[in-house]
Structures are given as C-alpha cells and as structure tokens.
Amino acid sequence: MKAWTITKAGAPDVLEWQDAPTPEMGPSDVRVRVHAAGLNRADLLQRQGLYPAPAGASQDVPGLEYAGVVDAVGSNVQGRRPGDRVMGLIGGGAYAEQLVVHERETLTVPDTISLTDAAAIPEAFLTAYRALFLEGGLQPGGWCLIRAATSGIGIAGMQLARAFGARTVGTSRSVQRLEQVRHWGLDVAHAEEQGPLLETIRQHTGEGVNVILDLVGGGGQLRENMECLRPEGTQVVVGLMAGREDDINMGMLLFKRLTLRAMTMRSLPVERRIALAQLFSDRLAPFFAEGRLKPVVDTVLPFDQAPEAHQRMEAGEHTGKIVLTTET
C-alpha cells in the first residue's frame, strides 16, 4: 500500500507519498480502506519532530482519525463485516490507503453522513465530550469557557454543551470568526480585541464558569483562566497552541479550590479507546442521527494534497476541520 510518510522532521514538504508496509491484521482486528482522514494539530507536531506517536502506532505515517470501509475481518471478529462504513481514532497511520484496528474501536458512520464528513467527527467530538463532561464534570445549566472556539474541537464543544443543556462562552482572535460559529451553540462570544475576558465572564455568568475547555495552553493565559473559573471550577487542558509553559498562582488555585487537569487522546490504551467507542454509540450517535450534532468541515482537499492541507492548518485561518479525502 501507499501512505504519506514523514521523511524527516521539518516543513510540510517533508511529507512524501511512498510505499509502506501493509498492516498485519490480528484475529480481533478489521482492515479499513481509508476514504478520508481528518487533520489535527498533533499531525503537524509529529511532522515537526515534536510529538512522537505512542508505542505501537506508526512513527512516520501521521493521522489520528479516519473514515472508510471495512474490507477484511479477523477470525474472531463478530461485530463487523466487509462493507461496513466506519470511523475512529488511532494513535497514528490514518494518512494511508489502509489501516488496521480492533473491531471494537470502530464507530459506525451514520447513514446521513458522508465518509468525508465522518472523518471530522471522532477526534473533535470525543475530545470535547471527554474534556467537558468526563474530566470537567459539566452539568446541565452550567457554564463552560471554550478557548479557541472556532477550532474543530471548539465547535464540537459548543454543540455538545447545547445538546446537553449547558451554556458556552467562546474566545477567538476576532469577532468575525466568532460570528461564523455562533449558530453552532455559542451563547457568549469574546474576541481578544474586546478587552478583558474576565469582565465578559462576570457580566454573563456572575461567579464565573464551571469548566474551561482549553486548547490554547501556555503563553500567560493560565492566570486569566483561573480568574474566570468560579470556586471549585475545573480547567481541562487539551492543546498547547500558545506554548508549553506558564506561571501558576498557587494561592488562587488553593483559595478557589480549583482543579487543573490535562488530557490527550492518541496515547490512550486500546481498552480506553474501546470504552470511548461504546460511549459514542450510547450517548452521541443518537444526536448525530437526529441532526442535533453535525461535523463542521472547513476545507476538503484530495488525499494527494496532504502538504497543502498542513499549510492550511498552519496558517490558522480555518473554521472547523480540514479533511483529506479520496472521494470526488
């Protein structure tokens, strides 16, 4: 088979379409012919040599989320058969013609959603759900702050908050970008150009937000986040777009009894990924079937334009997901 391969750490042009070993299938695995792959920041960091793939995942073929069609199953597989449309998360290797995963890690693509759009679902919605509700403990009627609200995970987060009865404040660099996503469930928009975030938070929430879904990370924003949390609130860090380091006010953390958590998805062991797949089927799939949750795709590029897709993501002007597809 062929795959987009990282030939060395560097710019997007280090990605090359090359022959790659065909993945071997175990008795509980399925082989998926990839039709589409969603881009994530982790792909860029892996290409730059800053975020190695976890043990057991492809070290030189990036890609964390895919959608495609099962074309072979292992001898012990009971829940999948050739022809099934599936999507899912993996530790790496989605920028390829084929991939192999445990059958119970796969998610069924809803009948109303194309494989191209399906590739924009797994990472964004599972990350946002886990951060807001499992790690952050967001409840109906509660408030969440989404830093980088116009990202794929940010838009998924505001849709999920609305679906489960919570309210959102979203941040971005400009008012215009926030207005583009308001209809997805954003209750309060705040752009950097509008002044102190804390004033907006207090005006609309009173004491502050219950949960922060933070894709921005360091760069001096941790204190501001802690100020925006109400007592016993939780910040969940899932991205580091602004940097890896920041100062922490231990006094504020203590006196407000705050919780600071962090999570990643790609390094989860297979048992945790299987549990998340079951959670998706039980709690989120019905919302997609009803049209209450929808993938938001900014850009679709042919599968042979992976370097161009990386350039688009690095430019930071997209709203929603960037997807590579073999579908025309």
pLDDT mean over 284-305: 96
* 152 φ/ψ sector (left φ>0, alpha ψ -120 to 50, else beta): alpha
Task: Count other C-beta atoms under 10 Å from residue 1's C-beta.
Answer: 13
pLDDT mean over 107-112: 95
Residue ranges and CATH numbers for the domains of the chain are: 2-121+266-325 (3.90.180.10), 126-262 (3.40.50.720)
pTM higher than 0.85: yes
pLDDT, the chain, mean: 94
Q: Which pLDDT tens digit goes with each residue over 23-58?
A: 999 999 999 999 999 999 999 999 999 999 998 888
pLDDT mean over 313-327: 92
Query: By the 8 A CB rule, do 36 and 61 touch?
Result: no
Structure tokens at 109: 């693509």
- Measured CA to CA, the distance from residue 66 to residue 279 in angstroms comes to 18
pLDDT at site 236: 98
- Measured CA to CA, the distance from residue 91 to residue 64 in angstroms comes to 6
Q: Which pLDDT tens digit goes with each residue over 172-223?
A: 988 888 999 999 999 999 998 888 999 999 999 999 999 999 998 877 788 9
pLDDT at site 174: 87
pLDDT at site 328: 65
Q: Which pLDDT tens digit goes with each residue over 154-174?
A: 999 999 999 999 999 999 988
Q: Which residue has the tokens 């938001």?
A: 296
String of DSSP letters for 65-129: EEEEEEEEE-TT--S--TT-EEEEE-SS--SBSEEEEEGGG-EEPPTTS-HHHHTTSHHHHHHHH
φ, ψ (nearest 5 deg) of residue 115: -65, -35
- Measured CA to CA, the distance from residue 39 to residue 95 in angstroms comes to 9
